[in-house]
């Protein structure tokens, strides 16, 4: 543990230099160092949009060195950059319309089916397997009708997903704070949708931050419903910031609960750092989750 802490301090010292030397590259600063040792129990990933301040090339170099093997929410135009650095695209995007116009409204089905029919083979050809989708907002629609509409639309793309070995993940988002009116805002609703679709290639993206806000009881939900969960996102509650002791969730226990389910997929950091050294926050988050 002492050696690990020293390695992390050295790594972060290089990253911190970036904030005091405007022209300095992450790649030039960090490349000579060996990747930080990780236990290998949790497959670490990070969501690209939370760290858009950093060029993707350089961000990939840092990610590898702190033990991150994949980046979430990256579309086809950036896959070559990830591959150049040996970074996996753990949750592909680009087929969805947006967060509010989704599968629960039949008027969007034609365009969504077209988008996913084009994207699924691209994901498979690139060697990836996870593709995100969203329920969309309620707009006065009841949950039963929304579930029926989602199932009807998604079933039309599932044979193609199954043929290509691609898993479609619907993300659970909170509707109390961040995404007012979003329909897939409870684990139970998402699980029922999975049962209605009836395919191993349709799973839930369980966002720990969002579900803590909308329903709590995170560890019990993970234990009870892990068969329907294919991917996890993290962030601190409240605020969606660092996952350290400034917030209410205890992530080491949550990670151990995820491991106990036999989860073989990824856990992706999706917090918005507020510390001045954003890369240090990311490295610390990986350290916290490396149980």
Q: Is the pLDDT of residue 4 over 90?
A: no
pLDDT band for 36, please (50, 70, 90 cuts): confident
pLDDT for the residue numbered 37: 85
**CA-closest candidate to residue 199, choices 238, 237, 228:** 228
> Where does 156-277 have alpha helices with state H?
158-164, 187-197, 208-214, 218-225, 251-260
Which run of H or E residues covers position 27?
Answer: helix 26-30
Q: Model confidence over 88-141: pLDDT tens digits?
A: 999 999 999 999 999 999 999 999 999 999 999 999 999 999 999 999 999 999
Q: Model confidence over 159-199: pLDDT tens digits?
A: 999 999 999 999 999 999 999 999 999 999 999 999 999 99
pLDDT for the residue numbered 34: 63
Domain boundaries, the chain: 2-289
Beta bridge partners, 190, equal none
pLDDT for the residue numbered 20: 42
| More confident call, 75 vs 22 | 75
pLDDT for the residue numbered 19: 41
Q: Is the pLDDT of residue 214 over 80?
A: yes
The pTM is what?
0.90
Q: Is the pLDDT of residue 210 over 70?
A: yes
pLDDT for the residue numbered 40: 94
d(CA 98, CA 88): 23
Residues 267-271, mean pLDDT to the nearest whole number:
98
Residues 241-268, mean pLDDT to the nearest whole number:
98
CATH number belonging to domain 2-289: 3.20.20.150
Residues 31-47, mean pLDDT to the nearest whole number:
84
d(CA 27, CA 143): 48
């Amino acid at each position: 543990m002492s050696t690990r802490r020293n390695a992390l301090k050295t790594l972060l010292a290089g990253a911190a230099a970036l904030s005091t030397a405007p022209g300095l590259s992450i790649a030039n600063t960090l490349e000579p160092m060996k990747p930080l040792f990780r236990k290998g129990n949790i497959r670490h990933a990070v969501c690209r949009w939370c760290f858009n301040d950093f060029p993707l090339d350089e961000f990939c170099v840092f990610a590898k060195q702190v033990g991150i093997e994949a980046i979430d929410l990256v579309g086809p135009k950036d896959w070559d950059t990830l591959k150049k650095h040996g970074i996996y695209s753990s949750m592909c995007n680009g087929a969805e319309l947006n967060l509010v116009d989704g599968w629960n409204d039949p008027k969007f089905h034609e365009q969504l089916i077209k988008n996913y029919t084009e994207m699924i083979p691209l994901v498979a050809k690139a060697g990836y397997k996870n593709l995100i989708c969203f329920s969309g907002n309620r707009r006065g629609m009841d949950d039963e009708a929304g579930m029926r509409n989602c199932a009807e639309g998604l079933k039309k793309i599932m044979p193609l997903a199954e043929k290509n070995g691609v898993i479609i993940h619907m993300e659970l988002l909170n509707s109390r704070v961040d995404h007012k009116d979003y329909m897939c805002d409870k684990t139970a609703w998402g699980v029922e949708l999975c049962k209605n679709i009836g395919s191993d290639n349709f799973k839930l993206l369980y966002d720990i931050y969002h579900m803590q806000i909308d329903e709590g009881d995170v560890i019990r939900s993970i234990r009870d419903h892990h068969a329907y969960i294919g991917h996890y996102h993290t962030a601190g509650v409240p605020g969606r910031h660092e996952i350290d002791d400034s917030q209410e969730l205890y992530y080491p226990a949550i990670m151990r609960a995820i491991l106990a389910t036999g989860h073989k997929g990824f856990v992706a950091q999706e917090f918005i750092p507020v510390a001045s050294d954003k890369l240090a926050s990311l490295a610390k988050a990986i350290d916290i989750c490396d149980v």
